[in-house]
Amino acid sequence: MNAEIEREDDEADVENAGAADAETDASAVSDDGTDALDEGEWAEARHLLYDMVSTPSVSGEEEAAAEVLKAFFEAHDREVWIDEVGNVRAPADDAVLLTSHIDTVPGDVPVKIEDGVLWGRGSVDATGPLCSMAAAAVETGVSFVGVVGEETSSRGAWHLVEDREEPDAVVNGEPSGWDGVTLGYRGFLSGTYISTSELGHSSRPEENAIQSAVAWWSRVADFFDEERDGVFDTVTTKPVRFDGGPSDDGLAVEATVDVQFRVPPRYTIDDVREVAESELTRGGVHWNKPIPPVMMSPRTDVARAFRVAIRNVGGVKPRLLRKTGTSDMNIFAGTWDCPMATYGPGDSDLDHAPNEHLDLAEFDSAIDVLVDVCERLADD
């Protein structure tokens, strides 16, 4: 009998230990913050966001994240495929095309949830906007594309404008804050200046290729520095790489300068190119494919729909924004003649930052706004 009692006590201890372990495990689950994913109307979208942020998707390595996104649309019986460049395509009602980018910049930001805030690379730029648009597209039945390569060459957006018909309206996904909508971006022009000169003794007074390169860039930068009307309305000039020295055969001096220009809507790409080339005294510039500036009217159907939706969701005055950088909206506006805007949850000051994070409540609000916008535009 004593042995049986001892055996029962041992079993009770095991059961108690198991219960204690279970309590510990339950506490661990609660403490990691993921319970917040199950809160609210958009719990499924929150889980998608968490899964996408947890899946590395640096530019050029978006395949795994694209499969996660594709599976979300398949689960909702939507037509969806991954095209030849890696874009996730889910066509439907082209009254609105919702599109954002799958790729992120490099950087290890540990994925975690604290106090209803999701931390991780891409949570703001632009997995948050991307997943809010995926949820809104499923809810409203409008078209969706997750594009690749936005952080580098925008290969996904360039392929899209060449491969599909123009939609009735476009909403591009980038962080604007749930109560803001972006209507303008500067354009982007880059190129490489190349010059050579005969190699001579350094005591000779003639200007060599390196001096010519320095002088050329100084003249170009000075020209645009003369007009300062705020950053958005100014051409920003940046040399990003400078090489120079004797040629391999020792007979010449060579110089190359990689340059970049951010171009406001009041200028065209050709205007900036013309200025740069007019300042040449030696050598030439090989230009890369440009991205034009864009400035949409606040009176388009898309802008009006956002103003109404933001007021409806949060009772606040919408913020109309202009950004000094460049986005895929520039590419869409350069090809498609339809109204568009850029929108998404998140603080753009956290783009590419080591502390990138997104409030899940703001994510939910952005979905509410997008659903309202899509329904209004589809009804119109």
- DSSP single-letter state for residue 149: -
Residue 62 · residue 102 · CB < 8 Å:
yes
Spatial CB neighbours of 268, under 8 Å, sequence gap ≥ 6:
292
* CATH number of the domain that residue 280 is part of: 3.30.70.360
Question: 0.85 cut: is pTM over it?
Answer: yes
Question: Whose CA is closest to 133, among 125, 143, 123?
Answer: 143
Q: What is the pLDDT of residue 32?
A: 74
- The reply to whether 298 and 266 lie within a common domain is no
Task: Decide: 279 and 223 in contact? Cβ < 8 Å.
Answer: yes
Is 125 known as a binding-site position?
Answer: yes
Sign of the dihedral through C-alpha 367, 57, 53, 178: negative
pLDDT of 370 reads 98
Give residue-wise pLDDT tens across range 247-278. Answer: 888 889 999 999 999 999 999 999 999 999 99
114 is in an annotated binding site: no
Half-sphere exposure of 249 (CA within 13 A, CB side): 4
Integer-rounded Cα Rg, in Å, for the chain is: 27
Specify which residues 117 forms β-bridges with.
Answer: 114, 359
46 and 168 inside one domain = yes
The model's pLDDT over 68-120, given as tens digits with 9 standing for 90+, comes to 999 999 999 999 999 999 999 999 999 999 999 999 999 999 999 999 999 99
pLDDT number for residue 31: 59
Active site residues: 103, 150
Based on the domain organization, do 164 and 63 belong to the same domain? yes
Given 269, 287, 305, which residue is the final one in a domain? 287
- Identity of the amino acid at 229: D
Q: In this predicted structure, what is the pLDDT of residue 199?
A: 79
Q: Please give the pLDDT value at position 76.
A: 98
Contact 189, 269 (CB under 8 A): yes
pLDDT digits (tens, 9 = 90+) for 139-167: 999 999 999 999 999 999 999 999 999 99
Task: For residues 357 and 151, give the distance between their C-alpha atoms in angstroms, rounded to a whole number.
Answer: 18
The answer for residues whose C-beta is within 8 angstroms of residue 374's C-beta and 6 or more apart is 95, 96, 98, 136, 137, 139, 140, 142, 171
The range of the structural domain enclosing residue 104 comes to 34-185+293-379
Please tell me the predicted confidence (pLDDT) of residue 203: 55
Q: Which alpha helices (DSSP H) does the chain contain, by range?
A: 2-31, 43-53, 63-75, 127-140, 155-163, 209-225, 269-278, 301-314, 328-335, 360-379
CATH (domain of 161) = 3.40.630.10
Q: How far, rounded to the nearest angstrom, does the alpha carbon of residue 225 sit from its chain's CA centroid?
A: 29
Cis peptide before 126 (omega within 30 of 0): yes
47 is in an annotated binding site: no
Query: Was 352 annotated as part of a binding site?
Result: yes
Residue 345 in domain: yes
How many residues are present in the chain?
380
Cα-flanking dihedrals φ and ψ of residue 226, to 5°? -70, -25
Residue ranges in the chain modelled with pLDDT below 70: 1-31, 200-205, 227-228
Both 83 and 225 in one domain: the answer is no
Residues 51 and 170 in one domain: yes
